[in-house]
Amino acid sequence: MSGVKNLLQAISVNRLKPYIIFSSSAAVYKPKDGPLYESDPVGPIEIYGHSKLESEELIEAFANDYGINYTIVRLFNVYGSGDHNNHIIPAIIRQMNNKG
């Protein structure tokens, strides 16, 4: 999260007006059985999810104070090396390897 703080500070000091796109994570949501939806409540249970949620909140507050445009994208199942959950990138790689 210090990287996000440093970036926002540099933007304000230099009076920049960028469009911020922040790559967050589904880890910000409360775990539940079944699919997650954007309207579901947040409630991270791990430090990673907490740091992403805090970064989202910091960006939102900063954007409101300085009139900066932003988008926050919460990615699901992108990558998980050594993780037992199904993730999209390892699944694609496995499928590509099976076709060769």
pLDDT in tens, 27-41: 999 999 888 888 999
Residue with tokens 């910091």: 58
Tell me the domains of the chain and their CATH numbers: 2-99 (3.40.50.720)
Confidence (pTM): 0.75
- The answer, yes or no, to whether residue 91 has pLDDT greater than 90, is no
pLDDT in tens, 2-20: 899 999 999 999 999 999 9
pLDDT in tens, 59-80: 999 999 999 999 999 988 665 5
> Taking the alpha carbons of 80, 84, 88, 94 in that order, is the dihedral positive or negative?
positive
Residue 14, both tokens: 């230099």
